[in-house]
Amino acid sequence: MVRLLGFFPRRLSLYRLAFIPKSALVGQKEGHPMNNERLEYLGDAILDAIVAEYLYTHFPEMDEGFMTKLRARIVKRKNLDQVASLMDIPRLITLGTRKEINSKHIYGNALEALVGAIYLDRGYPLARRFFVRKVMQQHMDLARLIRKDSDYKSRIIEWAQKNRVEAVFESKEEHIDHSKSPSFVSVIRLGSDECGTGRGSSKKEAEQQAAKQALKTIQ
């Protein structure tokens, strides 16, 4: 357990509970069922906060739409199932019915419940450290998740992250002809170099065009 977590747990009962799926039919002395559903519910909410904070900090130039889509991919059930398998979580789960054994979703559920257990045991900072260091950095390929979004801005941000170069978009509104709707111009800087300029009817379109030109430049 310490190897999995990276720290010593205090309330071991919480961590044992995190690995008991609903179908395991483990009961307390009073006869009430005991499973990880409530911890999973809590962990799901904590994960959303952790991932949102991480993306906000590490992608300062990206808009809400990008961060929302990437967060959804990170916490997607299929992705969490795969990551939980890589972390060897399946061997810790208390199995129940044959149906449950054949369901890989219990792996991701257990990972969420584990985050909930850490939060209750050691607080948000340690839950965040665990998920970022032990899960995201070791078992998730953010570049691959970003590539699922084929727009130019996402691709140039991915390149900048990989090459440890700061990518900054400088956008402003232009009023060339007052009889028409305003247009926007955007410049992208990679480090200290201006690598692309774009124009469009919206800030988003201008940034996409600037990113497209920058991709041609670096390639």
Residues with catalytic function: 44, 112
Name 54's bridge partners. Answer: none
> CA torsion 47→153→58→46, rounded to 10°?
-10
- Crossing angle of helices 105-122 and 37-58, in 10° steps, is 80
Strand partners, 189: 168, 194
- How far is C-alpha 199 from the geometric centre of its chain's CA atoms? 31
What lies within 8 Å, CB to CB, of 211 at 6+ separation is 151, 152, 153, 155, 156, 169, 188, 196, 198
Q: How far apart are CA 166 and CA 193, in angstroms?
A: 10
Are the beta carbons of 15 and 7 closer than 8 angstroms?
Answer: no
**What CA–CA distance (Å, rounded) separates 17 from 20?**
5
